[in-house]
A and B are shown apart, each in its own frame.
Chain A
């Protein structure tokens, strides 16, 4: 089971055939995962084409058609397909994916996201696909919120505004052992530390 997005993305693209399952409980976690996984996949292999297939408003026939359309593309071998919002027809999607399992091997990878309380309905209909999934699983709550430099910088800025202190001043006070008298000072400390690490990793 994967706990971070980078490792997950690498894992998806290293195997063949590759099918991964991501469960979620909070919709915000799913959204965050969907927003960020494409970038992580492309970072791992830059020629990966990320296609997203939200299923909520589709019926069985349309979902089948769209899936077959993608799998028939000449560049299917570069495609990593994200299938999400499957819950209204979780059983049907499981059945269709199970049925087209061999054809799905044409993709570079496939990720299916399902809400935790419907995963059993999905599993019941795709016993063969489960063999391919194996341990390629993760939770959107773990995978979906990578800390990027932009997000951390934004969080620090908001903190500075709300407390009326710049992070440089904060650090100075900390160095001179002057107390920073607000209860969430520890959060700013953490954010500054994380920003420093991200900048190092970026080479800035």
Chain B
């Protein structure tokens, strides 16, 4: 019997399972992530069709946090690798979603594009680097500098602003040589992103910059990249769905959307789910046209019939992908799927929590009481975070079968209220599993009154 076969027959230890149950990176991201489990999705079929057919398609993908948007976009980028030059731009990694606005988004796109160029095609032509450096100079054009006034003087002498100007001056002909190679330019953009991520330049100071030059840089760079690569570019921008600030959402997706909508490449980006239900949500349809919602997975019934239930298959496959099929029984998998409320990340989180409990207890297998403990933890964690007005909003949505969602928009964002487009129209909005007991308590409390 070969070593490999011997290893396959050894039961997987809980420690090995918990190492592999990683909900923090998209599935399929490489050795640190879980393998991706294929799923059927109308939204992704449409995204794939559009991006394949149109080399300049602009599509937005939205859905609950943890529903699998990053995983599916990552899979799309792997699938399109032969036909497109794919650039993966993760806002959370480089900038932080809380720092995102149109200006910083353009810098992130530039940084990701140059890095991808250097990795796949070698260094940039020196003339192109010069052009892009010229655009940086235009960031702070002389005719847009604040006039000499008391306010402007204070602005100019703000330490962060002064440092930025000094840095620019050093780069553009001062004592430090300006970037000549693509590597040096990439480093410069990375430094800009770091400064933006650390809020090194205040918002009122950022307002002085002319972002149109960075938009022009993106256009030029992407055109040259497509020409050098010999195929159209697909830009995948992840983590824009994590922008929580309404003003930033409107800036990026509505007010200054044209800055990146006109890029000469295909773009597939994530969109905050609550933006669809916000007061300006309808404008998104006019501006973007193509917004796709990745729905939660179907949830198997409790109790179920057998492990062959269609709704259970995905969850069993996820457990199998991390060799946890010996650790969880079919019934336990069903309960986990229910606890996860159709969100793959929640499923993986709850599975990992069960394994942690089992390891703490010195068990070799998951027991049913581990799942009960995890469920209690979820309910307890949510209990302190919801107040009566939240419960009222939830009940208003449920009882009106989907009306009044704008009142519960924060709860939709936080995955307390789940929207499932695959469900019948009068049941499209439901509660996350860990909220159901709390809403039941609220209803009985208010009924008693």
Chain A residues within CB distance 8 Å of chain B: 27, 55-60, 63, 87-92, 115, 117-118, 121
- Return 15 A-B CB contacts under 8 Å, by A number: A56-B127, A57-B126, A58-B127, A60-B127, A63-B127, A87-B227, A88-B125, A88-B131, A89-B128, A89-B130, A90-B131, A91-B220, A115-B223, A115-B227, A117-B264
Cβ-defined partner of A88 (8 Å) among B127, B134, B180, B264: B127
* Contact yes or no, B220 A121, CB < 8 A: yes
Q: In the bound complex, how far is the Cα of B1 from the Cα of A114, in angstroms?
A: 65
Give A121's nearest chain B residue, CB to CB: B220
Q: Which residues of B contact A92 (CB under 8 A)?
A: 127, 130-131, 134
Q: Which residues of A contact B264 (CB under 8 A)?
A: 117
Q: Do most interface residues of chain B lie in helix, strand or loop, or is the interface mixed?
A: helix
Contacts of A90 in B (CB 8 A): 131, 220
Task: Flag if B223 contacts A57 (CB, 8 Å).
Answer: no
Closest 4 CB pairs of A and B: A89-B127, A88-B128, A88-B125, A59-B126
Query: Which residues of A have CB within 8 Å of B251?
Result: none
Count residues on chain B whose CB falls below 8 Å from chain A CBs: 15
CA distance A92 to B227 in the complex (A): 18
**CB closest residue in chain A, given B129:** A59
Return the CB mask of B102-141 against A: 1 if under 8 Å, else 0: 0000000000000000000000111111110010000000
Residues of B within 8 A of A63 (CB): 127
| CA distance in complex: A35, B131 (Å) | 29
Contact B130 A59 (CB under 8 A): yes
CB < 8 Å neighbour of A118 from B124, B130, B134, B223: B223
CA–CA, A60 and B129, complex, Å: 10
* Residues of the B chain whose Cβ atoms lie less than 8 Å from the Cβ of A60: 127, 130
Please state if B127 and A117 are interface contacts (CB–CB under 8 Å).
no
* Interchain CB contact under 8 A, B125 and A56: yes
B223 near A89 (CB under 8 angstroms)? Answer: no
Chain A nearest CB, measured from B190 CB (Å): 22
CA distance A63 to B129 in the complex (A): 14
B224 within 8 A of A: yes
Given contacts A92-B131, A117-B264, contact A87 B224 (CB under 8 A): yes
